[in-house]
Amino acid sequence: MNKFFYPRLALVNLKKNGNTYIPYILTCIGSIIAFYTMVSIHSNKGLDQMPGSANLKIILFLGIIVIGIFAVIFLFYTNSFLIKRRKKELGLYSILGLEKKHIARVLFYETVFVTVISLSLGLIGGILIGKLLFLLLLNIVHFKSPLIFHIDYWGLLITTGVFLVIFGLTLLTNFLQVKLSNPIDLLKGGQHGEKEPKSSWIVTVIGLISLGAGYGIALSVKTPLEALMLFFVAVVFVIIGTYALFISGSITLLKQLKKNKRFYYQSRNFISVSGMIYRMKQNAVGLANICILSTMVLVTLSTTVSLYVGQEGMRRDFYPMDVSIIGEINNTDFAEVKAIVESEKEKLKIRSSDEISYDLARFRAFQEGSHFLKDMVEDESTDARYYERISNMILIPLDDYNRMTGEQKSLAENEMLIFSVGDNYGEATIVFGDQQYLITEQLEAIPMDFKKTQDMGQTYYLVVKDDAVMEGVYQTMKNDDDPQTTLHALMFNLDGDEDTLNTFSANLRTAITQSNPDIDIQNLYEALTELYFFFGGFLFLGVFLGSLFMMATVLIIYFKQISEGYEDSERFEIMEKVGMDKTEVKKTIGKQILMVFFLPLAGAIVHVAFAFPVITKMLAAFRLTNITLIFLCTLAGVLVYALVYTGVYLLTARSYYKMIH
Amino acid sequence: MRLLEVKNLKKIYTTRFGGNQVQALSNVSFSVEQGEYVAIMGESGSGKTTLLNILASLDKPTSGEVFLDGKNIVTIKDSEISAFRRDNLGFVFQDFNLLDTFSIQDNIFLPLVLAQKNYQEMNSRLGPLAKRLNIEEILKKFPYEVSGGQKQRAAVARALITQPKLVLADEPTGALDSKAAMNLLKIFSAINELGQTILMVTHSVAAASHANRVLFIKDGEIYNQIYRGSMSNDDMYQKISYTLSVLASGGEDCE
């Protein structure tokens, strides 16, 4: 025997099984590209020098782990599918006289070829696409200065190592398959007598309860904190419910339909129902996988896109004014601060607007109706609601208020005006310590802030008679780590292009910190950089993983159709002989594929619909409260996904029809 | 009354890329009377299956005509052919061709469901038929749960339930053991006695010896035929064997 016999046979096998092996190799290449890209971006030296890259690196590291796990699961899944399809062929080899060790050798060479092709193309692709994706990432996070993207040898090494192990393991499982079976079993391969699937009411009921529980949690979540805490519980319930209902619920339902004789013995239902029972038996797990993967893609895409698109709105929530400079009254020379601001503005020819300055005191208090307490009640701290009752209180003297607004209001010693950022303050009085104050007016607006949804505790602005009253309340209510005295604030907005404003912000911080390190500067433009990194990183990962999951979904569907095509062609041949029309055959096939195909998508869309309330609440934790925007992003995500999904359907349906005829 | 009339049937297969032509049937003419039980015999490649496929309206002849009950099935439109097949023909195949996704009962109902009969009628037709074919106990079972003989009897039930004018059987005993085969042939004889016309293609001398008449086909032509007359099955068997050996040795004539 020629020593090239086995490699040649392996090569011929791969070619002959091209319609399943080419997609498999493409999957491998895709996974390798994804993995290498993540590793190389994560370990890029330039990234370390960017401000705010720490969060991004954590997000990317998460990505590496997810892709790694995903690659293992998915490559094992596709490999087991391939080897199942080839059992007959392997059985034939052993009948023709190849021993098990010879078959093992053929399988070994096949794996070697697949590995070499996948790794070489995957790594080359990774180097090219990785660079492209890196530029995309920099663009998404609004990072301007060009970074050089080197080929990451360490990353190449890690990727090669990880995938060699994965391929080695798949080869090992294939060896086991061959070793454990005899030729006759191999020959019969997929065609053990098809047993009527058993449906279990218990599993169905468990599935319904579990899904109901998951949906119930999703719908009953009231606050962002609850959402963050309960989201994963709901996810687990929904996953259990999805599997149980796909596996058992579908068959229970179909069997009920079958029991209804008048419905079942109609030509259009007869073949569909019994066909679906067997299809669901074979595919329930695969379909449930697709459903869950699709839901993941949709949730990931819609949240990350919402966050990214919504950050413009969010940043105003965080920073009502572009720049705010706050210092302790008796420790800050505000004339000097103002001089620094003016000189920095002059240097870069920047104009400012809406400038305001005022005295204030700020502290946190625990709200119980109209009573605001200094001490938090510790034993309730397990309740998420507890945190929502911690309020931010900001006191402002009346003459500063009147000066800023141009109004002429007056207040007595025990009177206050209130502006609530969130819901209106419903009480007529407000109590600090043992002192009660009358609320004489609920203000509709205040110069330094505006109305917005408050999900994580209220913020109240209180206008008091004078500095003395303010000082009095502050000294009663302040905690140990609060500043000793009341504060003074200087706030203004900026005009100019973003680059100049970024420079100005950095310069201003340096200058002011030099003169007085205790001054607190909040600057929208500095914060933006960090936000872009944070949400941009999320978006990048979301789209990246979304595409990866989409690839997985597409492949699972493709393999499913191929394997069913072979079995169904026999079935429909018989039906044609017994007197079924060709057009009728085509209609029935179409109906069945359509159901199998779109059931997971429909499931995923329902999941997303129920997840929507939780998603909005969770995003509210990131201060994204624009529900219309989230809805539109989700809708766009669903539409794009459904479009891709339908495209895949049309493609595979075509090859399926070809197989039948 | 003449039920089936086949006139000058010719079928030529052309390979896909032109070139080779294979003549499967050169000139076949015969007829089958109402209530007859006819077996067609011949070696592999003699054109038996081609002939049966044409009679089953699964294939079209190159030239020639086939009349079933006075209607030319060669010229039936494609859109009507399935309904025609369903209403007039019953099929029994060598490998049963039962659908593994249906129970035995649903397999038998399949042609009626396709013809959109209601459930009561289907059920009333099934009762006596199942009794006669002795498959009452297995109606709820699935094809993989029953023996080959039972599967073939179920397939016979499926062929008969539409009350077809003609039952076409393609090697019905081919996949059965001798006992099951004998059992099936008895059933065929019994239903024939009730007036059912049967046309069977077979290799098996034992199977053919149950028929009223045996047609021999060789190289795409009817070569000879034997009428039972008053012969017993055993006599028939002897005569068929003799004819076959003459046929195989390429003899001129055997009468």
Render pLDDT for A611-626 as a digit per residue (tens, 0 to 9). 998 888 888 877 777 8
Could you say which of A172, A193, A214 is where a domain stops? A193
Q: Does residue A342 lie within any of the structural domains?
A: no
pLDDT tens sequence across B155-173:
999 999 988 999 999 888 8
Strand A429-432 relative to strand A371-373, pairing: parallel
pLDDT tens sequence across B221-235:
888 888 888 888 888
pLDDT tens sequence across A558-603:
777 777 777 777 777 788 777 777 777 777 777 777 887 888 899 9
Q: Taking CB atoms and an 8 Å cutoff, what residues of chain B touch A193? A: 100, 142-145
Instruction: List the single residue in A265, A578, A580 with the smallest CB-CB distance to B91.
Output: A578
In the predicted structure, residue A97 carries a pLDDT above the cut 80? no
> B33 in helix, strand or coil?
strand
Beta-bridge partners for A432: A372, A435
Could you say which of A458, A480, A495 is where a domain stops? A495
**How many inter-chain contacts (A to B, CB under 8 Å) are there?**
76
CB within 8 Å: B101 and A578 = no
A298 and A282 in one domain?
Answer: yes
A203 and A182 in one domain?
Answer: no
Report CA-CA distances (Å) from A40 to A129, A134, A155, A278.
11, 9, 5, 46
CB within 8 Å: B97 and A576 = no
What pLDDT score was predicted for residue A188? 56
CB-based contact (8 Å) between B58 and chain A?
Answer: yes
**Spatial separation of the C-alpha atoms in residues A460 and A458, rounded to whole Å:** 6
> A265: nearest CA in chain B?
B113
CB-based contact (8 Å) between A574 and chain B?
Answer: yes
Instruction: List the single residue in A193, A571, A580 with the smallest CB-CB distance to B82.
Output: A580
A89 and A11 in one domain?
Answer: yes
The one-character DSSP state at B14 is E
Q: Is B218 exposed, middle or buried (0-12, 13-18, 19+ CB in 10 A)?
A: middle
Q: Which helix (H) or strand (E) holds A489?
A: strand A487-495
What pLDDT score was predicted for residue A164? 94
Give the closest-approach CA distance of B112 to chain A in angstroms.
9
A222 and A187 in one domain?
Answer: no
pLDDT tens sequence across A224-233:
777 877 888 8
CB within 8 Å: B145 and A278 = no
A366 and A261 in one domain?
Answer: no
What pLDDT score was predicted for residue A408? 87
Sign for the CA dihedral angle at A505, A509, A512, A515 comes to: negative
Single out the residue of B155, B39, B144, B151 nearest to residue B100, CA to CA: B144
Residue-range domains of chain B with CATH: 2-97+165-249 (3.40.50.300)
The whole-chain average pLDDT of chain A stands at 82
pLDDT tens sequence across A116-158:
999 999 999 998 888 888 888 878 777 665 566 677 888 899 9
Give the closest-approach CA distance of B90 to chain A in angstroms.
8
CB-based contact (8 Å) between A257 and chain B?
Answer: no
Which residue type occupies A521? I
What pLDDT score was predicted for residue A186? 59
What pLDDT score was predicted for residue B166? 92
A164 and A35 in one domain?
Answer: yes
- Residues B216/B203, Cβ–Cβ less than 8 Å: no
Which residue type occupies A134? F
CB-based contact (8 Å) between A571 and chain B?
Answer: yes
A481 and A386 in one domain?
Answer: yes
What pLDDT score was predicted for residue B186? 92
CB-based contact (8 Å) between A112 and chain B?
Answer: no
Q: Does residue A330 lie within any of the structural domains?
A: no
CB within 8 Å: B101 and A277 = yes
What pLDDT score was predicted for residue B255? 43
For residue A189, what pLDDT band results from cuts at 50, 70 and 90? very low
Domain count for chain A: 3
**Spatial separation of the C-alpha atoms in residues B210 and A154, rounded to whole Å:** 81
CB-based contact (8 Å) between B237 and chain A?
Answer: no
**Spatial separation of the C-alpha atoms in residues B5 and B66, rounded to whole Å:** 6
> B254 in helix, strand or coil?
coil
pLDDT tens sequence across B31-52:
999 999 999 998 877 788 888 8
What pLDDT score was predicted for residue A503? 82
Q: Does residue A139 lie within any of the structural domains?
A: yes
> B194 in helix, strand or coil?
coil
- Residues A429/A370, Cβ–Cβ less than 8 Å: yes
Q: Which domain holds residue A384?
A: 351-495
The one-character DSSP state at B35 is T
> B79: nearest CA in chain A?
A581
pLDDT tens sequence across A437-493:
988 888 888 888 887 776 667 889 999 888 888 888 888 888 877 787 888 888 888
Q: Does residue A514 lie within any of the structural domains?
A: no
For residue B252, what pLDDT band results from cuts at 50, 70 and 90? low
What pLDDT score was predicted for residue B32? 92
For residue A190, what pLDDT band results from cuts at 50, 70 and 90? very low
**Spatial separation of the C-alpha atoms in residues B197 and B3, rounded to whole Å:** 8
In the predicted structure, residue A185 carries a pLDDT above the cut 60? yes
Per-residue pLDDT, averaged over B66-70, amounts to 89
pLDDT tens sequence across A395-442:
999 989 998 888 888 888 888 999 988 888 888 888 888 888 988 888
Q: Which residues of A380-409 are buried (b: 16+ CB within 10 A; e: fewer)?
A: eeeebebebbebebbbbbbebbeeeeeeee
A108 and A7 in one domain?
Answer: yes
pLDDT > 70: percent of chain A: 92
Q: Does residue A206 lie within any of the structural domains?
A: yes
Q: Does residue A325 lie within any of the structural domains?
A: no
The one-character DSSP state at A246 is I
What pLDDT score was predicted for residue B192? 92
A453 and A359 in one domain?
Answer: yes
Per-residue pLDDT, averaged over A383-388, amounts to 62
Residue of B54, B78, B93, B100 for testing the chain A interface, max A β-carbons within 10 Å: B100
Instruction: List the single residue in B91, B142, B143 with the smallest CB-CB distance to A577.
Output: B91
Report CA-CA distances (Å) from A29 to A121, A198, B63.
7, 39, 56
The answer for residues whose C-beta is within 8 angstroms of residue A595's C-beta and 6 or more apart is A272, A276
Single out the residue of A307, A350, A622, A315 nearest to residue A502, CA to CA: A350
Beta-bridge partners for B65: B7
What pLDDT score was predicted for residue A456? 65
Residue of A191, A262, A263, A265 for testing the chain B interface, max B β-carbons within 10 Å: A265
Single out the residue of A74, A541, A537, A623 nearest to residue A297, CA to CA: A541
Per-residue pLDDT, averaged over A638-650, amounts to 87
In the predicted structure, residue A305 carries a pLDDT above the cut 90? no
Q: Does residue A243 lie within any of the structural domains?
A: yes
CB within 8 Å: B91 and A576 = no
A599 and A585 in one domain?
Answer: yes
A128 and A17 in one domain?
Answer: yes
A278 and A378 in one domain?
Answer: no
CB within 8 Å: B119 and A275 = no
For residue A386, what pLDDT band results from cuts at 50, 70 and 90? low
Q: Does residue A510 lie within any of the structural domains?
A: no
Could you say which of A170, A193, A216 is where a domain stops? A193
CB within 8 Å: A580 and B79 = no
The answer for residues whose C-beta is within 8 angstroms of residue B39's C-beta and 6 or more apart is B200, B201, B202, B207, B208, B210, B211, B213, B214, B215
Q: What share of chain B is helix, strand, coil (3-state, %, to 5)?
A: 40, 25, 35
What pLDDT score was predicted for residue B189? 92
CB-based contact (8 Å) between A517 and chain B?
Answer: no
What pLDDT score was predicted for residue B254? 44
CB within 8 Å: A577 and B86 = no
CB-based contact (8 Å) between B82 and chain A?
Answer: yes
What pLDDT score was predicted for residue A638? 92
- Residues A453/A310, Cβ–Cβ less than 8 Å: no
ipTM (interface pTM): 0.77
Instruction: List the single residue in B82, B85, B99 with the smallest CB-CB distance to A574.
Output: B99
In the predicted structure, residue A47 carries a pLDDT above the cut 80? no
